Amino acid sequence: MSLPGGAWDGGPAVGDLGEFGLIARIRERIPPAPAASGVVLGPGDDAALLEVPPGWDLVLTCDIQIEDRHFRRRWMSPREAGARAAAVNLSDVAAMGGVPTAALVSLGLPPALPIAAVDAMCEGIVSELGRHGATLAGGNISASDAIILDVTVAGRVERGRALRRSGARPGDTVLVTGHPGRAAAALATLDAAGDLWERLAASGPAPAPAPELRERFRRHLAAPSPRVAVGRFLAENAVASAAIDQSDGLTGDLAHIAEESGVRILLGRSFLPIDPELAALGPLVGVDPLDWVLGASDDYEMIFTAPAGKVDLALALGTALGIAVTPIGAVVAGPPGVDVLDADGAPIAAREGWDHLGRGRAPEGPPRDGRN
Amino acid sequence: MSLPGGAWDGGPAVGDLGEFGLIARIRERIPPAPAASGVVLGPGDDAALLEVPPGWDLVLTCDIQIEDRHFRRRWMSPREAGARAAAVNLSDVAAMGGVPTAALVSLGLPPALPIAAVDAMCEGIVSELGRHGATLAGGNISASDAIILDVTVAGRVERGRALRRSGARPGDTVLVTGHPGRAAAALATLDAAGDLWERLAASGPAPAPAPELRERFRRHLAAPSPRVAVGRFLAENAVASAAIDQSDGLTGDLAHIAEESGVRILLGRSFLPIDPELAALGPLVGVDPLDWVLGASDDYEMIFTAPAGKVDLALALGTALGIAVTPIGAVVAGPPGVDVLDADGAPIAAREGWDHLGRGRAPEGPPRDGRN
């Protein structure tokens, strides 16, 4: 399949350039830090320096991407790998309601990796950060067998406004942006032959030709959009009582909110937003689309709870940003956990979130990360 | 050789516990954050929250440690691996003159790794951070083939007081703490038979029995002491015009100061502090001890420059802290670079710093990191 954003092969390798040559090359490609980022000192010293304005707290998160664990060269371009490594961290800052400002990256690079691929990875990191007002402020490079991109993103949030996992209360409504499950469906179909996409184009709601359909699915996995604007709206307007970004899967991530808030969460099966293309694809590959929607899938959508008086504002946000925002359930008192209920109110067993260290995972299993 | 701090083998493995079980286990082992760390929200959410007091800037750095690139299980205990991963980052905060406050860690763990080894690694991280007033505020865990510890350390420094690489000026004195080269010597002798240590005990200045000598050398590599107190003294008293921590090697690191400051640095061969044990060991293994002192070695000593009026204060610092502080050279005008001069003023060719991506490195070559 064609991967926009550069190739993994060809040209001189990073081992020929050497570490400090490579660092100098990367530094040249970083645009000046935007003033609003608060970066006082960027790359080129022992550490970066950032200004955090009075009245704001620093938001800090890190998440690692390892080749063949979290992505494969076969289905992700170097530029996408870089952008995605930034995006999954920007998503965590978004889930706190923060403004992303600066990032560091630890790069592990096989010495035989082409310099052009590293250029493209760094362009991906820098451009994804830049889309959200943040800048690359430092990092380090090591040789390694597999490609490693470990990005730390810093941001800021008004003191007391951060969206925590622990604030959900009985009576709150549970909402989600976008269409969770797309990434899982994309992963499940990465090796699918062209005829699957032709059958989907024929049977499904999508008007696109087969190659475009296939590429659209691949990008659900390879190019997530962190919901930074959503997080900022929720924080600035005190809309959300709790929030988390969807990186383990809808029920798995909601289980974290349930645990940290000490509440039970009920999801209505009929309320769940199911992407029409997923609904059409499921039967073609023998999968219940609901498994994708509820189970392990890292779409980096925003999952949040809102008190009754704020739900209208949350829905208006979706309209304003052109993003689907769907009420999918309710917070109730009870032992921490998540139940999915069918139309009759009968519980469908809640699925567990992805366990990244579990030994039972399939070799091609969905690459997921967990936070502590 | 005996490795204090736990074993790499035995007992249940992390793959049996699972990711979230492991995260819960680690969280239980983190003591409450000290109030001075400014940690508003620690592990358990999408990101950590830190307060940075008005008038201070945030210091932020990250550095990755990869098994068999930066350490080997054969010569480092799990506890030491954790402590060292924290220490190399604390060292970067020290080199900025900062107060370390909080850390995140990305852990890459082979599923077969014993839980006890992860416990010990985390104890190492937490205790090393705690020694310097900092706390573990978050992170993430992934499965990986090799053990990966990528630590991000945050700290704070009074605005305008940070020690940068770019401030060295002609006329400044170059100083270094401790005895650079010990880590390189330790690495070179890790596989040495017991008789080497007996010969060193017989010929050298050390009174210790051979096994203790051997262990002392191993710890030069496995258990560096970040110079946090030194960095704070230099920043608070405006002693240093420039600083860097010694992670690539004395000449390699000074080359960074020379480049960023636009100056030339002259080192006097006879001024260099040579550990008497290194001086005795060199001839026994056919190495010029000067190669260890000047070349690639990550001892995490502090290298800094001070204007003439501040040198006495820098030397008093050493006395106060019980750490050797040695003037080793001078900053002059000239093209950026480092020259080592013998007693007659004749230049000995400056050695390059370690290039971590260079293909020519020996398989057992010193594991080094570079910063950008």
With contacts defined as CB-CB under 8 Å, which chain B residues touch A48?
59-61
With contacts defined as CB-CB under 8 Å, which chain B residues touch A125?
none
Please say if the pLDDT value at position B354 is more than 50: no
Q: How confident is the model at residue B1 (pLDDT cuts 50, 70, 90)?
A: low
The answer to whether the CB atoms of A243 and B46 lie below 8 A apart is yes
Mutation choice for A interface testing from B17, B58, B298 by most A CBs within 10 A? B58
Question: Nearest Cβ partner of A165 from B45, B108, B154?
Answer: B45
What's the confidence (pLDDT) of residue A19?
Answer: 83
The answer to whether the CB atoms of A64 and B106 lie below 8 A apart is yes
What's the confidence (pLDDT) of residue A162?
Answer: 98
What's the confidence (pLDDT) of residue A369?
Answer: 40
The answer to whether the CB atoms of A49 and B58 lie below 8 A apart is yes
Q: What percentage of chain B carries pLDDT values higher than 90?
A: 85
> What average pLDDT does range B270-276 have in this prediction?
96
State how far residue A136 is from chain B, nearest Cα, in angstroms: 11
> What average pLDDT does range A217-234 have in this prediction?
97
Q: How confident is the model at residue A180 (pLDDT cuts 50, 70, 90)?
A: very high
> What average pLDDT does range B162-174 have in this prediction?
98
What's the confidence (pLDDT) of residue A125?
Answer: 98
The answer to whether the CB atoms of B104 and A148 lie below 8 A apart is no
Please say if the pLDDT value at position A367 is more than 50: no
With contacts defined as CB-CB under 8 Å, which chain A residues touch B57?
40, 49-52
Question: Nearest Cβ partner of A150 from B19, B150, B243?
Answer: B150
A316, amino acid identity: A
Lowest mean pLDDT across B221-235, B290-304, B351-365? B351-365
pLDDT digits (tens, 9 = 90+) for B93-114: 999 999 999 999 999 999 999 9
The answer to whether the CB atoms of B142 and A23 lie below 8 A apart is no
Lowest mean pLDDT across A158-172, A254-268, B18-32, B172-186? B18-32
With contacts defined as CB-CB under 8 Å, which chain B residues touch A148?
64, 66, 108, 148, 150
Nearest-angstrom CA–CA distance, B199 and A128: 58
Angle between helices B228-236 and B311-321 in degrees, nearest 10: 140
Q: How confident is the model at residue B371 (pLDDT cuts 50, 70, 90)?
A: very low
Which is nearest to B150 in space by CA: B75, B221, B59, B86?
A: B86
What's the confidence (pLDDT) of residue B19?
Answer: 82
DSSP E strands in chain B: the ranges are: 39-41, 48-50, 56-66, 99-109, 135-143, 148-158, 173-177, 242-245, 264-268, 302-306, 325-332, 337-341, 347-348, 370-371
Question: Nearest Cβ partner of A63 from B140, B146, B243?
Answer: B140
Smallest CA–CA distance from B253 into chain A, residue: A46
Q: How many CA atoms lie within 13 A of A354 on its CB side?
A: 28
Question: Nearest Cβ partner of B57 from A23, A51, A148?
Answer: A51
Q: How confident is the model at residue A350 (pLDDT cuts 50, 70, 90)?
A: low
Smallest CA–CA distance from A47 into chain B, residue: B61
With contacts defined as CB-CB under 8 Å, which chain B residues touch A140?
62-64, 369-372
Token digits of residue A203: 């049977």
With contacts defined as CB-CB under 8 Å, which chain A residues touch B145?
145-146
Q: Is the pTM of this model over 0.90?
A: yes
What's the confidence (pLDDT) of residue B350?
Answer: 55
Please say if the pLDDT value at position A197 is more than 50: yes
Q: Output the average pLDDT for chain A.
A: 91
Q: What percentage of chain B carries pLDDT values higher than 70?
A: 92
Please say if the pLDDT value at position A363 is more than 60: no
The answer to whether the CB atoms of B62 and A152 lie below 8 A apart is yes
With contacts defined as CB-CB under 8 Å, which chain B residues touch A351?
none
With contacts defined as CB-CB under 8 Å, which chain A residues touch B355?
18-20
pLDDT digits (tens, 9 = 90+) for B280-290: 999 999 999 99
State how far residue B304 is from chain A, nearest Cα, in angstroms: 12
Angle between helices B115-131 and B19-28 in degrees, nearest 10: 40
Which phi-psi region, left, alpha or beta, contains residue B233 (left: φ > 0; alpha: ψ -120 to 50)?
Answer: alpha
What's the confidence (pLDDT) of residue A40?
Answer: 97
What's the confidence (pLDDT) of residue A21?
Answer: 87
State how far residue B96 is from chain A, nearest Cα, in angstroms: 7
The answer to whether the beta carbons of residues B53 and A55 sit under 8 Å apart is no
> What average pLDDT does range A280-309 have in this prediction?
96
pLDDT digits (tens, 9 = 90+) for B322-341: 999 999 999 999 999 999 99
Which is nearest to B225 in space by CA: B137, B348, B94?
A: B94
The answer to whether the CB atoms of A152 and B152 lie below 8 A apart is yes
Q: How confident is the model at residue B6 (pLDDT cuts 50, 70, 90)?
A: confident
> What average pLDDT does range B158-175 have in this prediction?
98
> What average pLDDT does range B175-190 have in this prediction?
97
Q: How confident is the model at residue B41 (pLDDT cuts 50, 70, 90)?
A: very high
Question: Nearest Cβ partner of B61 from A47, A243, A358?
Answer: A47
Which phi-psi region, left, alpha or beta, contains residue A178 (left: φ > 0; alpha: ψ -120 to 50)?
Answer: left
pLDDT digits (tens, 9 = 90+) for A230-281: 999 999 999 999 999 999 999 999 999 999 999 999 999 999 999 999 999 9
With contacts defined as CB-CB under 8 Å, which chain A residues touch B117?
none
Please say if the pLDDT value at position A6 is more than 90: no
State how far residue B197 is from chain A, nearest Cα, in angstroms: 32
Task: Quote ipTM for the complex.
Answer: 0.92
Please say if the pLDDT value at position B2 is more than 80: no
> What average pLDDT does range A23-31 have in this prediction?
92
Q: How confident is the model at residue A205 (pLDDT cuts 50, 70, 90)?
A: confident
Mutation choice for B interface testing from A58, A71, A259, A302 by most B CBs within 10 A? A58
The answer to whether the CB atoms of B66 and A23 lie below 8 A apart is no
State how far residue B217 is from chain A, nearest Cα, in angstroms: 25
What's the confidence (pLDDT) of residue A356?
Answer: 44
The answer to whether the CB atoms of A96 and B166 lie below 8 A apart is no
Count of A-B CB contacts under 8 Å: 275
pLDDT digits (tens, 9 = 90+) for B185-225: 999 999 898 899 999 999 888 788 999 999 999 999 999 99
The answer to whether the CB atoms of A51 and B69 lie below 8 A apart is no
Mutation choice for B interface testing from A14, A46, A371 by most B CBs within 10 A? A46
Please say if the pLDDT value at position B352 is more than 60: no
The answer to whether the CB atoms of B142 and A108 lie below 8 A apart is no
Please say if the pLDDT value at position A357 is more than 60: no
Rg, Å, chain B Cα set: 21
The answer to whether the CB atoms of A45 and B96 lie below 8 A apart is yes
Mutation choice for B interface testing from A41, A45, A121, A352 by most B CBs within 10 A? A45
> Alpha carbon of B124 to those of A299, B128, B138, B368: distances in Å?
35, 6, 15, 20
> What average pLDDT does range B295-304 have in this prediction?
96
> What average pLDDT does range A114-123 have in this prediction?
96
Parallel/antiparallel/unpaired status of strands A173-177 and A264-268: unpaired
